[in-house]
Structure 1
């Protein structure tokens, strides 16, 4: 075809609904020049309409020098693709609108920069398609370029977890996305303890995380992140459970050595259960002078009676706790134990006799009941002055493992001014208690 001389041209005889691209080249006596850029695809169809206005335009944020806008797409695009949007503004009472963006904005948000602090601005948005610019939508009211104060907020998505379970030696990362104005600061703390030396806190604008590496049972607990600015505070608490072996039992101690060559041990549960229930305890014994520990029993209680030990031998004992992850480190008794009957000095407890006085009316039978203790079991003797008392029709003496009782039918008048005494002894120590008759009462002298 022959070249055209005008800067516009109507192309005829195109196929309906077919898309075409166009380019233009200049021609002179020397020949044909370089082609122009290729146009956007254009469909050969009946002319379309301009788009309608966006349905909503609002201010989403602001600072001392900027205002951020958001808007919705037009309900009608005029039957053609929306190429972008034009943003215009006007200040104060002015009426002349000025375009803000030199190029079309392809998305539905834009931040207008370089504004004057405190000045009021109005904005309007228009969509553009291949037909042209559509109708405008203006903000409902003027907006000022000022800093906004927004309390901290935490963004939680479907992947957010507050409880984390990790195996011993593993790692875990706790993190949150946050926002607010001014930009909040974030701090991490562990309830009832300090952060591990293997922990690392990382905080950037809008995100903070706490990483725990080489986790052990000591990392089990609750961790709280505090996000704060001048407008408020937001806290989130995470729970971390480390599946580890339990800590050792506490305060393993000898409770009693019995005459049947057995030893009663007791202890307190571990400070840490390792993240799972304590299933039981394993008790081991080692004869003094050897290096071999031997399992002597298992229990779910906090005590155990070790039996069939060799009388006179000396033993060390240890206890291990067990959970589903395995055994704890052993906890040993502080000192070795010699398997023999312990020697406890004989003693009498007078606390059951108020003011250590026994009162009885003349001619009445009276009873003296005294608790006793000692290992081996002490021998008990009752005397009246220097006369040893025995069981008769007027005197009854009873002795059990831990008590002695004297019942007498002698009148107070007959015994006035005389002393009763109770003697408890074994081959180590002797204890005497003297009971003196005073008028109508007996007085205990220890």
Structure 2
């Protein structure tokens, strides 16, 4: 009957297990779709029979994993059928399960396990189960190739009436698939018909497009190609006219402007920069990358030069001025650094650090405003509180600390500091808030005792009188020098007779130099002249002979 379970005999299974000393050969793997659903444990039955309605729980085999048993819930078996006896094969292999018509038994073709259910008696010998192998996995396909990024910095290298040479840099991102090459395309301005310039891809970063028509205005772009396809194009910023450039633009920067142009606040700036280029170049200026303020800065351009003019400079005019000269797609750039300077501000503060002995230590902070140029030094002055007059003690001093020495004991001093730069000295100064007082110490000064020196000396002539010859009618002078202390009295004598106040003679004595002037002497003025010097210590004389000659005129000359 279809609803009656078939009895299962254990003895043949045990006997089959004893006859199978070797494990059964592995059958071909079959898909097992039995889900791990909770199985209802079978009730303990006598050894002669077991109910078929309860699914047998899979028990692990002693020497291997048992294959899951097919559910026998809706598979009736008649007495005496092969399923009831479950005899083992003579070669020790597990007997395959009989196909059941039930829909809930997807694993009917799987090999049955030789091991008994979990609730079967323990004396049943388990059999080895068949091992199921998984099919090999298919290999992972490689990722698809990706195009590169666009070529960089496409620019014109040369142009004439029939060709155009461009250059560029390789893309920033190339990728793992590499780079096959570049293709160059161009089209006329106003159209969208792009023409490929070369037949094959090129690997170089430079290409000359030839056989062009003079006067055309062309747009040019470069495309990088790899296994992933075409990249985004890198194009020229502006269309290029196909024509001959007679002279490329070139700025001839004067040597004086190549480093830096320094001007003081209020001065005039007039920079003339020549350039070359034909046809006439287009000139443009930028200050620190921004357009110029035309209200303050004037630009005058001609065919050969450009002039940057500022009537009255200010600090804000400092910066980097960039000049660009352009002819079609060719250009040249040059920059001028303009530095507007002025007097610096005073030091931020100055402080009296210490006072000892005849010294005072100062310390100050650099000025907040350096006049747009470096500080070259400092000037330090002191003032006595008694007089209030300022005196310079250090000039062109480069440090921020200083020690002022040789101060007067008992006086109080104030100090001030000026800042210096290449323009000059700051208009104001930083003054110390505290006063440096040089304390008096108990010193008894005893001046040294000196013996008075006696400078008294008798008169002594250091330069003697010399004999002289004079001509009648021509004034002559006698000279000598004398020393002595106290100052000696001078007298002149002629032939041992004191001359006195004779108006014919003029007597002088100055700083020891004695002179006697004889005005228009005659023949009677000749003789021996003596100079005599007297003082408290003694007397000295010196003499000479004066000869006065007469001029004789011959008779022939008189006639």
**TM-score class, shorter:** 0.3 to 0.5
**If the length of structure 2 is used for normalisation, what is the TM-score?**
0.27
